[in-house]
Copies of this chain bind each other. A is one copy, B any other.
Amino acid sequence: DIVAFVADYFAGQANEAPALFAGKKIMITAGPTREALDPVRYISNHSSGKMGYAIAEAARKMGAHVTLVSGPVNISAPPNVELISVTSAQEMHDAVMRDIQQQDIFIACAAVADFRLADIPTHKVKKKDGILTLSFEPNPDILQAVAAQARPPFTLGFAAETNDIEAYAKSKLERKKLNMIAANDVSLSGLGFNSDRNALTVITKNSKISLPATSKYRLAIELLKLLNSEYSASQNNKKSK
């Protein structure tokens, strides 16, 4: 609405993107993936890519070299960002792993399909009567593969959930050995998937910070400021060891 827009606009004036990431390489995944069922059908999800693209734009404005690995979306990549377009979860995994060792920070914002069809027919499947049963196998877990590196980048994950959001985010943070996780309630109307606005709860091992609803770009700036504090602390920790 117009009030929120004006509030966001003046917040933006007071609070421009500081160059916190000069010289840093950040890889961001965004959008949905698509898993083929046959040459014409697929499984996907309601991710629009807007949150990941907003983070890419904000990270670039804050001085980072940004690689954006994106599933199929209907929005344009921000200027001066390296875009790698992929379709399936396997392709996204392969694109991420090819470049991950050069990255300082990895932000996994994509809504990656957990499963893919075990055997994809090469021809369009014809309609039949009765019940159809399909078997799906797990896709590679991109966050797990990144965390399994000898020297993993500083990693921020996302948890987009419709229920028990914080508990699930906290368990994902620990299970996948993330540095931070941003929990996203996708059941709230007007926020999240396909919306231009969002709200996040950012959780680390020792903290929980709520970022209230605003434009996805403003939210990305605030999220990256939080990330920078944690990232800097983790770097100082490494040096002092």
Known: A40-B111, A41-B43, A42-B43. A132 touches B131 (CB 8 A): no
B132 touches A115 (CB 8 A): yes
The verdict on A133 contacting chain B, using a C-beta distance below 8 Å, is yes
In chain A, residues 110-145, which have Cβ atoms closer than 8 Å to a Cβ of chain B? Answer: 111, 113-115, 118, 123-124, 126-127, 129-138
In the complex, residue of chain B having the shortest beta-carbon distance to the beta carbon of A193 = B40
Stretch from A10-18, A95-103, A157-165 that touches the partner: A157-165
The verdict on A45 contacting chain B, using a C-beta distance below 8 Å, is yes
Partner of A127, one of B114, B130, B135: B114
The verdict on A44 contacting chain B, using a C-beta distance below 8 Å, is yes
The verdict on A240 contacting chain B, using a C-beta distance below 8 Å, is no
The verdict on A74 contacting chain B, using a C-beta distance below 8 Å, is yes
In the complex, residue of chain B having the shortest beta-carbon distance to the beta carbon of A132 = B136
Known: A40-B46, A41-B44, A46-B42. A131 touches B137 (CB 8 A): yes
7 A-B pairs with C-beta separation under 8 A: A39-B187, A40-B111, A42-B45, A42-B46, A74-B74, A124-B162, A126-B168
Chain A residues near B (Cβ < 8 Å): 37, 39-47, 74, 111, 113-115, 118, 123-124, 126-127, 129-138, 160-163, 168, 186-187, 193
